[in-house]
Amino acid sequence: MTQPLPPGATAEGGVAAVVVLAAGQGTRMKSSLPKVLHTLGGRSMLGHVLAAAAPLAARHTLVVVGAGREAVEDHLAQVAPGAQPVLQEQQRGSGHAAAVALAAVPDLDGPVLLVNGDAPLLRPETVTALLDAHRAAGNVLTVLTAEVDDPTGLGRIVRGADGAVRAIVEERDATPEQRTVREVNAGVYVGEAAPLRRALGLLGEDNDQGEQYLTDVLGLLVAEGAPVGGAPAEDPVDVLGCNDRRELAARRRTLNDRVLDELMRAGVTVVDPATTWVDVTVTVAPDALLEPGAQLRGTTSVGTGAVVGPDTTLVDTEVGAGAGVVRSHVLGAVVGPEATVGPFSYLRPGTRLAAGAKVGAFVETKNVEVGEGSKVPHLSYVGDATIGRGANIGAATVFVNYDGVEKHHTTVGDHVRIGSDTMLVAPVTVGDGAYTAAGSVITTDVPPGAMGVARARQRNVARWVQRRRPGTAAAKAAEAAGDAGADAAADTRAEASE
Ligand code: UD1
Ligand code: CA
C-alpha cells in the first residue's frame, strides 16, 4: 500500500501538468478514510490514477486535497513524493478544485491533464490515447467519454446534430431527454492551460448542487467557438468511477481479473481466478502455479515452478523457483528455491529460508535464517535465530527469545539435531553437529559434537496405580500385565534414555 509508484517513463510530447482532483470527502463511502485512500489491488485509488498518468511525464503533478488532507498528504509523501498537494480550503466543486490547482502554477503553458481521483481502473494507454486525440484534433479541451449501459449518476455528453460535443450536463441538472444519453463524462480531460484557466474563472454555481462544475467549462468554451471534443475510451470499463463500497468491490474485482489475465497470458497457471487475488505490484514467473485461495500482495514475487496455495497469503514475500507454500500466512519473508512451507504455518518478517529448507506444519517463525536443507517440521516457534545447514529442529521446539524485557539471539550450527520439545533459552549457541536431548531446557551453550541434556532423570514408582487407584481399569490392566514390579518394594530409577 505504501510502495512508491514506479517513475513515469519519459513519453515524448507529455503534458505540462497533471491535476488530480482529490479534495472531495466521498460521502457515499461512509468512511472516516478519505475516498481516494481506499485501496484495491495493492494501491490506493489515488495511487492508481497517478500511475496511469505517470507516462505523461508531467513537469508538475498537482493533487488537490481538502477533506482528510493530512492523510492524503502523508500518503502522497510515501507513494509519490514528487507530487505537490494543493489545498482547496472549501469543497466548492470540481471546477473550483481545478482552478485552485492551476493557481499554484501561474506560468503554466501547454496541455494539462485533469483527472478525478476516484477512477482507479484508468490505464496509461487510455490517458495517452486521450492526449493523442486532443493533439490530433487541435482542441483547447478534450474530454474522455464512455458509452455505458447504466449512466446513472454520471454527467451526460450532449452532442449537436453534427455530432460535435456541445456540453456536459450533470444528471441532476439534466432534462429527461438528456438522461437517456448513454455517453458519459469519464472525469478525465486534457485542456490547454491558458484557455482552461480563463474558462474556469468564468464558472458560476447555478446548478442543483450550487457548485462550480468543471464540466461547465466545456460549454463555456463551445460558446466562445473554441475547438472542443470528446474522445471515447476504447474500453469503457477503464473509466468507471468509484463512489461507494459496492463500486469499490466491483472495481477491485475488475482490476484483479485484469492482473490475472495478464499473468495467465504470460504462462502462470491460475486454478481458480475467482478466489485468487494478486496486487498490481506483484510479479509471478511463468510456470508458477497459483492454487485456489492464493492472495499475493505488495512486493511479493514468485519464481518459476513455485506452487502457492491453496489458501495462502503472501505479503512482501519472495518465493524462489520450485518452492511451495501451502495454507500459510507469510509476511516479509524469503522462501528460497525448492524450499517448502506449510500447511498451517505463520512466517513473520525477517524469515529467510535458504534453498531446500523446510518449515512444516504449525510453525511460527520471525527474524530467522534457516540454512540450506534445514528443517523445522512441526509445531515450533523459531524467533531471532540463525540456523546452519542440514539441521533438524525437533517437534515442539521453542526458541525462547524474550526475557520479558529484551529479545535475544540463538545460534544453531550446521547439521545440529535439536531433540523434540527442546527449549532453547536465548542467548545460546548449539555448536556444529551437536545434539540436544528431547525435553531439554538449554540455557548454556552446547559445544560442537556434544549432546546437551537438561532435564530431570526419570523415576518409576512401582505399583503406584494398584496402590493409589485400586479397582480402576488402569489398575486391572496393570495386574493383567503381570507383576513386573512386584519385588521392587522401593522406587526404581530408569536408565536415562540418552
Ligand atoms: C464527476 C463529474 C461527472 C462525471 C463523473 C465521472 C463533475 C461536476 N461531474 O461527477 O460529469 O460523469 O465525475 O466519475 O465534475 N472534487 C474536489 N473538490 C470539490 C469537489 C470534487 O477535489 O470541491 C473532486 C472529488 O474528490 C472527485 C472529483 O473531484 O475526485 C469529482 O467529484 P465527485 O463529487 O466524485 O463528482 P461526480 O459526482 O462523481
Ligand atoms: Ca465521482
The separation between the first and the last C-alpha atoms of the chain, rounded to the nearest angstrom, is 52
- Find the ligand nearest to 96 CA: 1
Residues sharing a CB contact under 8 Å with residue 150, sequence separation 6 or more, in sequence order: none
Rg, Å, the chain Cα set: 33
Does the CB atom of residue 352 touch ligand 1 within 6 A?
no
- Where are the domains positioned within the chain? 17-239, 259-452, 458-494
CATH topology for the 259-452 domain: UDP N-Acetylglucosamine Acyltransferase; domain 1 (2.160.10)
Report the residue among 37, 65, 116, 218 best suited for mutation to probe ligand 1: largest number of ligand atoms under 8 A from its CB: 116
Ligand 1 atom nearest to 154, measured from its CA? 12
- Find the ligand nearest to 241 CA: 1
Does the CB atom of residue 23 touch ligand 1 within 6 A?
yes
Residue 19, classed as helix, strand or coil, is strand
Ligand 1 atom nearest to 96, measured from its CA? 23
Does the CB atom of residue 311 touch ligand 1 within 6 A?
no
Q: Are 79 and 50 in contact (CB under 8 A)?
A: yes
pLDDT at position 439, please?
A: 98
Residue nearest to atom 25 of ligand 1 (CA): 24
pLDDT at position 482, please?
A: 85
The DSSP secondary-structure symbol of 470 reads: T
Residue nearest to atom 22 of ligand 1 (CA): 23
Cell 528431547 belongs to which residue?
438
268: CA distance to ligand 1 center in Å?
38
Does the CB atom of residue 85 touch ligand 1 within 6 A?
no
Helices (H), 416-497: 464-468, 473-480
82: CA distance to ligand 1 center in Å?
24
For residues 239 and 278, what is the distance between their CA atoms, to the nearest angstrom?
21
Residue 138 buriedness (CB in 10 A; 0-12 / 13-18 / 19+) = exposed
From the CB of residue 255, how many other CB atoms can be counted at a distance below 10 Å?
22
Helices (H), 138-282: 176-179, 193-200, 216-223, 245-265
For residues 50 and 24, what is the distance between their CA atoms, to the nearest angstrom?
17
Neighbours of ion ligand 2 (CB under 5 A): 118, 241
Look at residues 73, 68, 2, 63 and name the one whose alpha carbon lies nearest to residue 35.
68
Beta bridge partner(s), residue 321:
none
Does the CB atom of residue 368 touch ligand 1 within 6 A?
no
153: CA distance to ligand 2 center in Å?
9
Cell 518478517 belongs to which residue?
349
Cell 462544475 belongs to which residue?
213
H or E segment to which residue 261 belongs = helix 245-265
For residues 411 and 253, what is the distance between their CA atoms, to the nearest angstrom?
46
The DSSP secondary-structure symbol of 407 reads: B
What are the CA-CA distances from residue 203 to residues 66, 108, 139, 154, 300 (Å)?
Answer: 20, 20, 20, 20, 47
Does the CB atom of residue 117 touch ligand 1 within 6 A?
yes
Render each residue's pLDDT in the chain as its tens digit; 498 residues.
556 665 544 345 689 999 999 999 899 999 999 999 999 999 999 999 999 999 998 999 999 999 999 999 999 999 999 999 999 999 999 999 999 999 999 999 999 999 999 999 999 999 999 999 999 999 999 999 999 999 999 999 999 999 999 999 999 999 999 999 999 999 999 999 999 999 999 999 988 889 999 999 999 999 999 999 999 999 999 999 999 999 999 999 999 999 999 999 999 999 999 999 999 999 999 999 999 999 999 999 999 999 999 999 999 999 999 999 999 999 999 999 999 999 999 999 999 999 999 999 999 999 999 999 999 999 999 999 999 999 999 999 999 999 999 999 999 999 999 999 999 999 999 999 999 999 999 999 999 999 999 999 999 999 999 999 999 999 999 999 986 655 544 444 444 444
- The residues annotated with a catalytic role in the active site are 378
Q: Is the dihedral of CA 88, 90, 96, 99 positive or negative?
A: negative
Does the CB atom of residue 64 touch ligand 1 within 6 A?
yes
155: CA distance to ligand 1 center in Å?
10
242: CA distance to ligand 2 center in Å?
6
Which of these CATH numbers, 3.40.50.300, 3.90.550.10, 2.60.40.150, 3.30.2130.10, describes 17-239? 3.90.550.10
Ligand 1 atom nearest to 35, measured from its CA? 26
Residues sharing a CB contact under 8 Å with residue 469, sequence separation 6 or more, in sequence order: 475
